[in-house]
Amino acid sequence: MSLDPTCVGAKTRIHRLEYDWKTLSLYALGIGATRDELDYIYEQRGPKVYPSFAVVPSYPVLTELLELTRGPFEMVIHGGQTVRVLGELPPAGVLETEGVIEAVYDLKLLAMAVFRTVTSCAGTPIFENEWQILYRGEGGFKGPRRPKSEVPNPPKRDPDWIWEQTVSPEQALIYRLSGDYNPLHVDPALAAKVGFEQGPILHGLATFGYLCRAVTQQSCGGDASRIRSFTAQFKKPVWPGEVLRAEGYAESGQVLVQAFAGGRSEAVVTGCMAELR
């Protein structure tokens, strides 16, 4: 089965997620939250929510969108993610999410599908996600090229802050309980089969959540509600057990971030930016 470029405009059905404080707390623990972040994991304090939680109600929608492209699932790479916060999330309720395929671009060797998902609670939009999904070997169909866009890059100076945390060896096992059940993140045999001899990799969106926490702690005084939007490009895998290191640069209401892992010199996340309220 190959990617169908005519899938642009296809929409999903509405998917519902009933959630409560346990859903929010489990997600926070999945992105590395510690006992120093009780506001995000303890029901007597809300709990508050990291804006990167926006991806969780979209997981079943993402699966349907991937099916609508008719592209080979085993050739999928998550290229980038953007979360926008549209409203305040209640501590419990029912979330309704639907998605649409906004574009399919020909990148010669690769194809890129762009998805948009919108999550509402009681009829009020709460989150919007943009998903950039790459398909290896599916380019060359003479389709439209991706429009040029300005990628946020850190300035050439010392960072305003540096944040580090060791990713637990069991982190992917915790994160997957929030809805991303891809066996690549848990099955050593499958990971080796697709080229990751070192073992299962951490979910890219778990790394995304770690960096959202880093910005919250270092640039927002621990208040994640100050983050209006958060975006990142995934470049290299992170393995559970590695030290994740983020460098942040404050720039006119924005925070630019780049991240490294395992002491490697090449960034694992680039084009990362938080817009602050």
For residue 152, pLDDT beyond 80? no
Q: Rounded to 10 degrees, what is the CA torsion of 102, 56, 69, 197?
A: 130
Q: What confidence tier does 194 reach under pLDDT thresholds 50, 70, 90?
A: confident
Domains of the chain in start order, with CATH, are 5-136 (3.10.129.10), 161-276 (3.10.129.10)
Average pLDDT, the chain: 95
The CA distance from 210 to 231, in Å, is 13
Segment 74-91, tens digit of pLDDT: 888 899 999 999 999 998
Whether residue 1 is predicted with pLDDT greater than 70 in this model: the reply is: no
Q: In the structure encoding, which two tokens stand for residue 169, read together? A: 């060896």
Beta carbons of 141 and 111 less than 8 angstroms apart? yes
The two structure tokens encoding residue 128: 């919007």
Closest to 34 in 3D by CA, of 276, 214, 221: 214
Please write the tens of the pLDDT for every residue from 135-146: 988 998 888 998
In the predicted model, what is the mean pLDDT of residues 166-170? 97
Would the pLDDT of 233 be above 80?
A: yes
Sign of the dihedral defined by the CA atoms of residues 13, 24, 268, 273, in that order: positive
The percentage of the chain sitting over the pLDDT mark of 90, rounded to a whole number, equals 84
The one-letter amino acid at 201 = I
Asked whether the beta carbons of 224 and 54 are under 8 A apart, the reply is no
Handedness of CA 157, 162, 166, 167 (dihedral sign): negative
